[in-house]
Amino acid sequence: MNAAEKPLSLSPAPLIDVEELEVRYGTRAALRGLSFTVKAGEVVGLLGPNGAGKTTTFSVLATLRKPDAGRVTVAGLSVADAPKQVRRMLGVVPQSLALYPTFSARENVVLFARLAGLRGRAVHVAATAALQLVGLEDRADDRVGSFSGGMQHRLNLACGILHAPRVVLLDEPTVGVDPQSRERIGEAVRDQARRGAAVLYSTHDLDEAERVCDRVVLIDEGHVVSDGTPEELIRRSGGVLRLEVVTRAPLPVGWFEGVDGVVPIHAAAVAPLLSRGPTVHVGLTDLSSASRVLERATACGGGVLEFHVHQPSLQDVFMALTGRALRD
Amino acid sequence: MSSLLTLIGKDLRLLGRDRAALVFILLAPLIVICVAGLSLANLYGADPTGQTAYDLPLFDEDGSRLSQEIRERLAQEPAVRLRDVGSRAEAQELVRDKQAGSALIIPRGTAAALTAGAGAKIILFNDPVKYLERINLRTRILELRDAISTEQGAAVRQGAAAERAKAEEKIAAFKAVVVNQRAKLEAAWSEARRIRAAVLEAARRDAVQARGEATRVIKNEWQQHSARVQKDVQSQVEQLRQEFRAYVEALATARQGFEAWLEDLKTRAGSHASDIPPPPSFPELPVSLKQIVDGSRAPVELRLPEVELALPTPRMPDLPALPDLPEIELPEIVLPPLPPAPSSLEIEVVSLAGVPTYINTFDQNVPGFAVTFLMLGMLLGISLGLLDEREWGTMQRVRALPVGPSQFLLAKLLTRFLVGVGQMIVLLTIGWLAFGVSLGPQPVALLLPIVGIAYAGTAFGLIVAAVATSREAVFSVGSVVMVTMSAVGGCWWPIDLEPRWMRSVALAFPTTWAMDAFNDLMIRRRTIDAAYLPTAVMLAYGSLYLLIGLMIFRRRAEG
């Protein structure tokens, strides 16, 4: 049994413990009292808009940056005081690809296995297992530069987790990844949690976060705005149905006023799914209100081209909490 | 350590996969070395292959032995490709048409003028644009002229010395003849003296003999006459002696009778006997008379006087005396000193290193451009390597691994250092094999400056990597620094071409010290001692660069 296959003992204490973390870039505060934990066997999603402090948080956890204030421990070890020991427990999958494009997939995983501290036969066992885990065993000897983006991201993940680390840090590992690869990556992440690793997962894909993460930490402007399971967050934010309407012509201001069951939401913060025409979003207290809204839109001369009804999501939760969209 | 080796292996593999980098490290320097070496060959003398020799049209109007010699010598000159032309006009035309930078004319009567002791000149038509070619060719021709003059002078001196030797031989032979004749004369003179002496001796001997014979005859006559006289005297004396004897005997008898008588008397006187007076005593016969009586003594000793002949000295023949042999004094023949042979002031260029005066162009260019590309590889390679790692995201990932950023950076630097050392060794070896570059008396000593410049280059590469955060910045900073360091440091041309102030500035660059060490070891053929100081300076510079680079890196990492 290699290191990747060995289950970790589940510890009640969190493997990642961030308390009142503060990081400043000059005079600008990137993190202001950020606090959260990740336990063994848990996948925690770190969600927030650009500039919220996700990458800075990952940098501190990965020992690439020292905190200005606060306490950050990994498996009980302070990242500031014992960075080398912390690094031995980390598996980092950075936001962008971190691979040698002129090397083959096998050469990459073997290299990172050695650099992670594996030696001898364990290197090749772990490398083979990692390649199998991300479904690249058939392309093991091909140059990474010839891989598709999805394959490269899968390999990127494999290189970060092949040594079965106790803590896995994934910084948006599925950006630009095809659905098939995204699915594989999601499965691989869940596998890490199943073997007992604490996984901190940053993503912009809210569906993915809801699907992969056990718990979500929403951050904005360097601090946590909410923390819990996706269901808890949605429930806690009192989320409503969202109606997305695409029209031929722009609708006038206040076009839905007086329609029963309609709740205004921050429509500008929601990116349109399609761009066939002007798009508006309104909140609905119940599904039956949708027909009334569509009738009003038609009456106002918009010419409805299409509409979608969305269940309340983390996007809505974040918008409800901050008034801004996660993708801002 | 294992992780460090893994990282070094990774960097070496990355380099191995990067064909452009490999070309840059090995092929590009070789191409530049070839181009620069052949292009600048005439700056140093000539390239060993003769590829860069100047075309030199030659028209020999003189047709003399001297002009032929000039032609043959130029033909052997590797820096010159001689081209015989049919006329002065043709030679001029080739220069005008830019087919040649210079053309040489040996005018009619050159050799004759020189032989007559008059001045002569050869003409070098020249294209003023081709300044360096003119300088080089003129220098070669001047050297050739000096060589010919020197050889001719030596030949003249040699001929004169031979003639002088012959004259001295003749003088010596003449002196030998004189000495021989004198010896013969002295022998004849000596014989004459001997004969004269013999003649005189014979005459003296004859005279003595004749005188002796006369003396003998006279003495003989005298003796015979004396004998006869003596015989007569003795006969007469004997007769007298007989008579005297008889008397004596008669006297003795008378005496005896007297005595008897006396006795008788006395007897008879009885008591009166005592009154008888004693008779007178008879005188005793003297002894001499007794001897005469008894015959034991000749009564007469006839003593004839010895005849002392005082014969007159015979007259010797009056031979004239031989005069002394006159002394023959040969005058000292002193040959006048040889007149000075016609010669020119010669410049003897002595290479203190004991190597040829004209170096192989590649002796300068191989180490020079090897150092240039080493620096280029270091300055750009480390920066671009780090930028690649940054762009690939691998730097961030490796920094989050147990190996940490320090080992990552150390491996990068060590890899570049090792590659740099290997690059230098390969380029110098190729230079040695392909271009005949000298590796000096101790090729192993070259490792010192190689290590020194690789270390300094690596460390400076760290500074560039720390300062330049984009490819554009790397290329601009790296190329400016590399060009400055290499050019001013004497990698592209001999540093002596630079002004004095620039040479002083160059001491601040490790490339200067590297080239100094390489030139000492390779061209001046010095031993390893010559590389100690430059290597120490390069290591010091490298350490300083390393310190600065790490400080900048740390500051950037903290920022």
Q: Is B399 on the interface with A (CB under 8 A)?
A: yes
Cα A263 to Cα A242, A255, B498: the distances in Å are 9, 13, 83
Question: What residues in B contact A98, CB-CB < 8 Å?
Answer: 392-394, 396-397
Q: How far apart are CA A281 and CA A293, in angstroms?
A: 11
Name the B residues in 471-510 with CB < 8 Å from any A CB: none
pLDDT value, residue B559: 57
Chain A nearest C-alpha distance from B403 (Å): 6
pLDDT value, residue A4: 40
pLDDT in tens, chain B (559 residues): 778 888 899 888 888 888 877 777 778 888 888 787 777 766 665 555 566 678 889 999 998 888 888 888 888 887 788 889 999 999 989 988 888 888 899 999 888 887 777 778 888 888 877 777 777 788 888 888 878 777 777 877 888 888 888 988 998 898 889 888 888 988 988 898 899 889 888 988 888 888 889 888 988 888 898 888 888 888 888 888 888 888 888 888 988 898 898 888 888 888 888 888 888 887 888 888 888 888 887 777 777 777 777 777 777 777 777 778 777 777 777 777 766 655 555 566 665 555 665 667 788 888 998 999 888 888 888 888 888 888 888 888 888 888 877 888 889 899 999 999 999 999 999 988 988 888 888 899 999 999 999 999 999 988 888 888 788 888 888 888 888 888 898 888 888 778 888 888 999 999 999 999 998 898 888 889 999 999 999 999 999 999 998 888 888 766 5
Q: Write down the pTM of the prediction.
A: 0.63
Sheet containing strand B80-84, edge to edge, reads B80-84, B54-60, B102-106, B123-126
**Contact criterion met (CB < 8 Å) for A101 and B394:** no
- Least Cα distance to A244 among A280, A296, A274 occurs for A280
Q: Is A100 on the interface with B (CB under 8 A)?
A: yes
**Alpha helix locations (H) across B393-403?**
394-399
- Both tokens assigned to A195: 């073997």
**Contact criterion met (CB < 8 Å) for B403 and A99:** no
- Least Cα distance to B491 among B508, B461, B516 occurs for B516
Region class of A304: left (phi > 0), else alpha (psi between -120 and 50), else beta: beta
Look up tokens 């050869």; give the residue. Answer: B122
State the ipTM, two decimals.
0.75
**Contact criterion met (CB < 8 Å) for B402 and A119:** no
Supply angle C-alpha A318, A321, A325, rounded to 5: 40
Please, how many CA atoms are within 13 Å of residue B328, restricted to the half-sphere of its CB?
13
In A254-321, DSSP assigns E strands to 262-263, 279-284, 304-310
User: What three-state secondary structure class fits B277?
Assistant: coil
User: What three-state secondary structure class fits B67?
Assistant: helix
Q: How far apart are CA B30 and CA B20, in angstroms?
A: 14
pLDDT value, residue A61: 93
Fill in the DSSP letter of residue A104. Answer: B
**Contact criterion met (CB < 8 Å) for A90 and B400:** yes
Q: How far apart are CA B421 and CA B373, in angstroms?
A: 12
- Cβ neighbors of B246 (< 8 A, separation 6 or more) are none
- Cβ neighbors of B556 (< 8 A, separation 6 or more) are B466
Q: Which of A114, A155, A175 to mutate to test the interface with B (most CBs of B within 10 A)?
A: A114
- Both tokens assigned to B473: 């910045």
**Contact criterion met (CB < 8 Å) for A159 and B7:** no
